[in-house]
Every structure is written in C-alpha cells, then in structure tokens.
Amino acid sequence: MRKPLMAGNWKMNKTLTESIPLIKELINLVGTYQDTETVICPPFTSLWVARELIQDTNILLGAQNLYFQKEGAYTGEISARMLQNIGCSYVILGHSERRGYFQESSAEVAQKVQEALIFNLKPIICVGEKLREREAGKAQDIVREETEAIFTVLKPAEVDRVVFAYEPIWAIGTGKAATPRDANEMIQYLRSLLVHKYGERVAEDTRILYGGSVNPENIKALMAESDIDGALVGGASLQAESFARIVKFKEKE
C-alpha cells in the first residue's frame, strides 16, 4: 500500500517572520494527522525554524533544491549534507521552474538525486511537459526522457526512497489543473516505465504524485484515481487552512 503524500512547495514565498504563524497554524490543523504523510518545503531561510516547530508532530521537512557537490567554492549553493543536518527528510529536485529559469538539465537533476540519496534525503523528482509539447503529442516522450535520465543513476534498491511528481508545466500556478483522468493516465505511463526498468513490485511500491493547481476542491477527484498517490502543492500550500484540507482529503468536510 502506498501511503498518500502531500508536499507543500512554498517556492520563494514567506520570510522567516511570516513562516512561523503559517507553520503553527498548520500544526494545529494536521500536526497529529496520520493518514497522509505531510511535508512542508519552505525556503532555505525558514528550514531551521520549521524544524524546531514541527518536532514532535507528524509533519516532515523538505527543501526545494540542493547542489550536487559535497562542499567548497560554490557561492550561493546548499549541499545535501547541510539539508540532512538541518533536519530535512525530503528534497524537491528537477522542478520545472529550476529546469526553466536556471537551465537545469536532466543530467544535472540526476546528479542531484544521487547526492540526495547519499545523505538519506528522499528526492521528490519532478517531470512534466510544456503546453506546446502536449499539443504536439509529445507529452509522453518528455516524461519518458526526463524519467529515464534519473533511471541511469538509480539502483533498484534505491527506488523505494524516491518519489516522482508528474507536473505538467501548463498546469503549474495557472489554476488549470490536468483532469484527474489525464493526470492518472500519465502517472500510469510513468509507472509502466518503472515496471520496465525495475520490475512490477518496485513499481507498485513507488509513490507518484500529481502537481499543478491542486486545491481543496479538486484533490478528492484526483486522489480517487488508481495511480495518483498524492500531490505536490504550490499556491494552495501557502495558507494553512487550504493545505490542511488537501492533507485531510479523506475526511468529510
């Protein structure tokens, strides 16, 4: 059984001062909730305070990026070891905003995945197509290329420590989520790639999230699909109440 996972990607939002009330409110709403694995990924500047606030709760900590080198003269970068040391369990890697604005290649994302695993961080690996690629009938090709780049570094015994997130770029921050059916279809395709590379059992155990304009209104329908194991949530994770409703998607409102 794959436990549902909801990860909030705060992106470049919330100062340290603004993070504190948001985390406290979230703790009040879902701090003891166990049916969903709940992860918050604040900016680096709020990781420490988040870690202090969420200890003794069921909320886990994630970062939004790392650099694949161990340490040294890489001004402005953050290593996997630093993230492990500050208390992160997860790290988002290969988000389309990093691939787009910062020219991160799939090969670089793969290096980051390797480094994360060395330091016991669970990577949430994002893949997904642009609108023009979908319209050109190339959505599966893009997802396959981005996923197979990760397969080149991922050993069979490591697959249970990674999470994939299918995030169609046209759905991110646009208010236009993929339909549950389309999202599920692509996630089934991604799972079939896992079956082909690592076998049925490994593929069945690997969690694959959907991301792109997830909100409290559409989460139930997405989670009703056979292969969607949770969500990577941007905008709706910036308010405790909306993120909590997503985390508690199973509950009657």
Q: How many whole angstroms separate alpha carbon 252 and alpha carbon 245? A: 10
Q: Does 242 bind ligand PEP (CB under 6 A)?
A: no
- Taking CB under 6 A as the binding criterion, the range among 139-147, 179-187, 212-220, 242-250 that sits at the site for ligand PEP is 212-220
In whole angstroms, the minimum distance from the beta carbon of 155 to ligand PEP comes to 27
Q: How many whole angstroms separate alpha carbon 68 and alpha carbon 11? A: 20
Q: Does 206 bind ligand PEP (CB under 6 A)?
A: no
Q: What is the DSSP string of 42-59?
A: --GGGHHHHHHHHTTSSE
Q: Does 129 bind ligand PEP (CB under 6 A)?
A: no
Report which DSSP code applies to 79.
B
Residue 211's nearest CA partner among 190, 192, 183, 191 is 183
Q: How many whole angstroms separate alpha carbon 166 and alpha carbon 174? A: 16
Q: Does 216 bind ligand PEP (CB under 6 A)?
A: no
Q: Does 173 bind ligand PEP (CB under 6 A)?
A: yes
- Taking CB under 6 A as the binding criterion, the range among 54-62, 63-71, 130-138, 232-240 that sits at the site for ligand PEP is 232-240
Q: Does 233 bind ligand PEP (CB under 6 A)?
A: yes
Smaller CB separation from ligand PEP, 156 or 173: 173
Q: How many whole angstroms separate alpha carbon 143 and alpha carbon 193? A: 10
**Residue 103 zone, left/alpha/beta (φ > 0; ψ -120 to 50; rest):** left
- Taking CB under 6 A as the binding criterion, the range among 67-75, 132-140, 166-174, 193-201 that sits at the site for ligand PEP is 166-174
Smaller CB separation from ligand PEP, 97 or 227: 97
In whole angstroms, the minimum distance from the beta carbon of 70 to ligand PEP comes to 27
Active site residues: 95, 167
Q: How many whole angstroms separate alpha carbon 142 and alpha carbon 5? A: 24
For 116, the token pair is 């994360």
- Tokens 């402005």: give the residue: 76
Distant-in-sequence, close-in-space partners of 145: CB < 8 Å, separation ≥ 6: 106
Size of the site for ligand PEP (CB under 6 A): 14
Q: Does 172 bind ligand PEP (CB under 6 A)?
A: yes
- Candidate list 40, 67, 235, 245; residue touching ligand PEP; CB under 6 A: 235
- Candidate list 27, 150, 214, 222; residue touching ligand PEP; CB under 6 A: 214
In whole angstroms, the minimum distance from the beta carbon of 214 to ligand PEP comes to 5
- Taking CB under 6 A as the binding criterion, the range among 32-40, 44-52, 139-147, 165-173 that sits at the site for ligand PEP is 165-173
**Alpha-helical runs (H) found in 11-165:** 16-30, 47-54, 80-86, 96-101, 106-118, 131-135, 139-151
Chain residues binding ligand PEP by CB under 6 A are 9, 11, 167, 172-173, 211-214, 232-236
